[in-house]
Amino acid sequence: MIVSKRLKAAVICFLLVFFFLLARLAEIQLFFTESFSKSNINLIQESVKQRTEEVLISDGRGSFLDRNGKELTGKKQPAVILFPFLVTQDWPVDRVSDILGMKQGELRQLLTEAKKPVVLNSRKIKHLTKQSVSNINSLKYPGIYGVYMKDSKETNIAAHLLGATNQDPELLKKKYPGRKELPITAKIGTSGMERTFDEFLLADQDTKLLYHVDGRGNPLFGMDVKYTAEANAFYPLQVKTSIDRNIQKAMEDVLKDRGLKKGGAVLLDIEKSSVLGMVSKPDADMSKQQTLQNYMLTPIYPGSVFKTVIAAAAIEQNEVKPGTSFNCNLNLYGEPGDDKGTLSFGESFAQSCNYTFTSLAEKLIKKDDSVIENMAEKLGLTQRAGWEGKLYREDGFRQLYNEKSGVIWGDDKDKTVKKAVAQTAIGQKNVKVTPLEVANMMAAIARGGEKKQVKIADKIEYKNKTTMASFKDQPLKGENIDKYTAQQLQKILREVVTSPKGTGRRFQDLPYEIAGKSGTAQTGMFTKDKQTLYHKWFAGYFPADKPKYALVVLHMDTPGDKALTNTVFYDIVKKVHENEINQT
């Protein structure tokens, strides 16, 4: 009796397990073949993949172009693809050898050792050309193909600005809850412009060469290689940026060659209010999260660059009279400690006298305790500088990912504290602004006071080069400084360079006349040998008489005597001049 009960229990358990496995098999084979598990895995596609060899020519994702239509995200290069099954065929190895300039034995060895299709690109064959691709395809032999494909190992320029793509299932579900056709393995933009423009760049179909294999890797249906591609004249889309590829590359080379490790540079086209080049250091490394921050869009202590704001407020409030002088033997708190002598307003700005601007700030705040932040707003330092507006269904589309806005006061009570006002006046205490905002301020001054949003993209194009959407010039919200204030600022910004003791006198021999302002901000950090670390700035525009470019260079966390700011600014201006000459 006991044995019979145990036998029945065992049979029942066996049947339960059997029916569970049968139900699971039905689930896999019949009911959920295209959306298995919570991850919605397409089992049919995965099954086909297991018996398919393929070469991805293009992932089908949209791309970024520079202002002249040059590729920014990986240039398509000539390549030749050889499939492994050729070793079993009497293929024209002699002719392929002649076209590629490789020995026949080398080609045969590559295929003999290959488990996947062999891709020969310019990294392996230096003299591979468009003609090589044409000659290869003229052979019309199955398993031998000439194509154009992006080099996956090629380093893209403007890495921080353009951003990156990755597999991120959670972000995919969040951004595209209704797009069930998107596989969980789909790559989406996770940073930079790849993220902000992701909806327009998403791949619909990739382009690849593929063939089916048996368990041993031999062709399953003979030498039938299929070509799959997006048969659409309009997609994928392309984002035409304002970046000048030549200038961007030159800026990156300058920072690399000079050894600037942390900080960066941003160059604007003043007339178009657009970014020509933007570099952030350290270089972006996807395995190191701390390297992905774009410091050109991050609020940083500006130091004496912020004296531009105090100068503008003093001019507008008529606090600077002709003949007014300042005792620049006093430090920022009005105590003995400096030795610059008695200076005029213009000389004080050129030599960056702290006392002049802290004393002016104190007078201004007594009249109006909002004067500093109001002037900062007029100059575009308290709101994001990047383009924001309506794009199709999205009212608040932003071109620049994770761009921050500047701040002036940490606490309104600081306005009644003399030392806090003094520190604020020279761009310390709680003052933080982004290099892009500072560059945009310089552009606004150069334009006569008109401030605009900064564009990084001009338009979105269809594959056939027709326009899908364009981004019009837009003003920054709020008031502008008046023309008289702008003219007076232009005058003292120029004096920074022309004055014998000006902090920008090094730039006197450049091919353009420069106007600008230096800045040195304490970070509160020190080197191992107790040297103080600073953020060193130079912000300006050029040519001073007919402004075309606004440039900001920032070297962060550097001892004062090792700052590369002026050297990098100097070199970039020369590169811009060389680029202009080459274009004429």
Active-site amino acid positions: 304
CA dihedral 195, 201, 207, 210 (to 10 degrees): 40
Report the phi/psi class of residue 81: left, alpha or beta, with left for phi > 0 and alpha for psi in -120 to 50: beta
The tokens describing 566, both together, are 């002026």
DSSP 528-552: TT-PEEEEEEEEEEESSSS--EEEE
25 SS3 class = helix
Q: How far is CA 556 from CA 352, 396, 415, 535, in A?
A: 19, 32, 28, 4
177 prior amide bond cis, ω within 30: no
Task: Give long-range contacts, CB 8 A cutoff, 24+ apart: 113-116.
Answer: 114/82, 114/84, 115/84, 115/217, 116/53, 116/84
**In a 3-state reduction of DSSP, which class is residue 330?**
strand
Instruction: State yes or no: cis peptide before 236, omega within 30 of 0.
Output: yes
Q: Which two tokens stand for residue 484?
A: 């008289």
Which stretches of 91-244 are DSSP H helices?
Answer: 93-100, 104-113, 130-138, 159-162, 169-175, 192-196, 198-201
Q: What is the DSSP letter of 553?
A: E
Compute the distance between CA of residue 113 and CA of residue 131 in angstroms, rounded to an integer.
28
Please count the other Cβ atoms lying within 10 Å of the Cβ belonging to residue 521: 23
- 151 contacts 159 by C-beta, under 8 angstroms: no
Secondary structure percentages of the chain, helix, strand, coil, to 5: 40, 25, 40
Radius of gyration (C-alpha) of the chain in whole angstroms: 31
